[in-house]
Amino acid sequence: MMHGRFKRGLLLALVMGFVAGPLLAAPVKILMLGTSLTQGYGLPPGSEIPALLQAKLNAAKIDARVINAGVSGDTSAGGLSRLDWSLGDRPGAAVVELGSNDALRGIPPAQTEKNLSAILAKLKAQHIPILLLGMMAPRNLGPEYARDFDSIYPRLAKRYDAMLYPFLLQGVALNPKLNQRDGMHPNPAGAKIIADRIFPDVKRLVAQTAGSHGH
């Protein structure tokens, strides 16, 4: 009798699991850890890069949610210091956009690389697929600084098997029509170009997550 009851209970559990499984599937959380470029400094609500990416994911019927973890003025050290807190959201994928403020402050590239390496190592240890958004140093810092800084991103992407978008501001940097008056932060038109260009990589990033489920 107990044997029969156990079998019926097991069958019920299997049926309930089968029915509830698809209903309980949660969207893939994409942690976007970055600076003011991620936060959306000076942009109207909804025109920040994470918001634009979210709209594109929705339009493509990809079940994913972008978490805007951008902090204006943040350095690679700042990003590293708040990473554990950001991982509390249990993201399934991560986009890392850090280093631009390091270069603006003239922080030694070796220090920036050490911080970014620690961030990528933590993400890798948790089996979180990574898209690393590369940056380039301002050329007024000299050729040696620029060479050392620019080479950080491809080197780290290779070391941690991360996807790399070589230069986040490609096609937008130094174009007055695509930037705010400060000449450093993209305006809505510039943000749209950036989101359009990195979206294919974001789609591939979601596809790398074990729990990804586009429709």
Catalytic positions: 36, 182, 185
d(CA 4, CA 210): 37
State the Cα–Cα distance between residues 142 and 149, nearest whole angstrom.
Answer: 11
From the list 79, 90, 84, the residue with the least C-alpha distance to 117 is 79
From the list 135, 178, 132, 176, the residue with the least C-alpha distance to 157 is 132
Residues 6+ apart with CB under 8 A from 76: 98, 99, 102, 107, 111, 112, 115, 116, 119
DSSP state of 87: G
> Which one, of 215, 206, 195, 197, lies nearest residue 51 by Cα?
195
For residue 184, give Cα distances in angstroms to 40, 41, 101, 151, 173.
12, 10, 11, 21, 7
Contacts of 190 (CB under 8 A, 6+ apart): 172, 175, 178, 179
